Structure 1
Amino acid sequence: MNDNVLRVGIGGPVGTGKTALTEALVPLFLAAGRTPGVITNDIYTQEDALHVRRELAGIISPECVIGVETGACPHTAVRDDPTMNLAAGEEMLERFPQIDTLIYESGGDNLTLTFSPALADVFVFVLDTSNGQKMPRKGGPGITESDILVINKVDIAQYVRTDLEVMERDAHAVREGRPVILTNALEGMGVQKLCDTIIARWEAQRGRNVA
C-alpha cells in the first residue's frame, strides 16, 4: 500500500447522505491541493457511481469514479474481504498516478459497518437526524469506533422530531473524545470541517507511524 495516498472510508446506514457528502468533499480536497478519486459500492448496480459522475462533471474526470458491484452485503466488501475494493483502488492509482486521495463510499443496513484497516486510513461513519435522536445511544462499532462520526441532514431535524442537541450530546458521550461533526451536505455546512479533520487525522497517523 502506498503510504502517500490518503484512503478515506465513508459508511453508514442507507439514506444518510453518504454519496452527497462524498460529492461535497471532492472539491474541498482539490482546494486543499489533493487529487481525489472515488470508489462507490452497490450490491447490484452502478447507480451511486453514475450519480457521482454526474454531480462532479467538470470537477474530476468521470474515469476517476469507479463503481464496485459487491453482489452481497457491502459490509463484506469493505470490512471482511476488501479484495474487490483494494483491486479497484490499485487499478485507479495505476491509471491515474496523480491521485493521492481515494474515497471509498459504502452503504450498510445497520450499525456494525466498519472498514478494514487494509482499505481505509480514516473511517467516517454517517448518521442523519432522521435516524432519530436515540441512534447514538444504540452504539455499535460504526458509532463508537469510527475515526469521525458525522451527523448529517441537520437542517431537517425539526421536521423529524429530533432534538439535535440531545443527539450530539449522546454521540460525544459514547465516543469518548473522538470527533463528532454536524453537517448539511447539500448546502456544505460542516463539510470543510470534516475535510480538515480527515486530513489532520491522517497526517497525525503518519507522524505516529514514522516515529
Structure 2
Amino acid sequence: MKRFIPTLVVLLARPRLGVCHLGLAETLGAKRAMQLSQLFIECALEDARIWPGRVALAVPEQDRAWAEYLADTHQQKQPWLVECHDSQGLMSETLTYLDLSLREQGLQQFIYIFSDAPALSGDHYRKAILILQNYDVVLNHDAISGLSLLANTRPWPSFSGIDWRSAAVAEQLQLRCIQSSFQVSDTQAAYAISKASDLLRLQHDLAQDKRPARMRLMQALQPVFSQVIA
C-alpha cells in the first residue's frame, strides 16, 4: 500500500501584514488576518508532519529561506523538499512548473493542499489516496468556498484561462481535464477559508478536533466570532 502514497505538496507563502488573506482582513483587520494565516499554515504543517510519504513545501522564490527553516524545523523521517516558483506567476503556471520539477526528481503522484484549508482531515487524505489509484485526477472542493485539495498521477493539462478565484474553479478544472482525456474524480468535502463567514463553519467543524494546531486555531478564533456575527 505504501507504494501508492503520493507526495504531499503544501502550497503556501509567508504571511505578510496587509497582504495575506485580504478576504479576512476586510472584516477582521490586517493583524488578525495575518495571525490566522499563520495558524492555518501550522494546521497544514501538522498534517505534513505525519504524512507517510514525501513532503514538498511549494513557496514563492522570495520565501525560500523561510520554507527551508520550516523544513529543518518540522522534518521527520525523511527531509522535506522545498520547491520554489515565480511568485508573479498564475496558479496554472505554478502547478505546471511544480509538477515538472517534482517529476524530474523521480516523483510521480501528488496531493496538493492549500494552506488555508484547516478543515482537511485524515479522512479526506485517505479517500484521495484510494481514489488516486484508479483515477488520473482528484478534486476536493466545496460548492461555496472552492478548492481545498487536488491530486494527480499524470502531468497536468494546460490550465490556461482557469479562474482560480472563482468558487466554480473545481468545475473548470474538471472540464479541462476531461477534455484532455483524464479520468477525474470530483468529491465535495473540505473547503478553503476565503472570507470571514467561513470561520463560523470552521468553528462547528473543528469543535471536537483534538489535533494540537487545530485546537490552537480554535482558541485564537474565540474573540473573532463576535466580529463575524456582527
TM range (shorter): 0.3 to 0.5
Tell me which of the two structures has the higher relative contact order, counting C-alpha pairs closer than 8 angstroms and 6 or more residues apart. 1
Q: Which has the larger radius of gyration?
A: 2
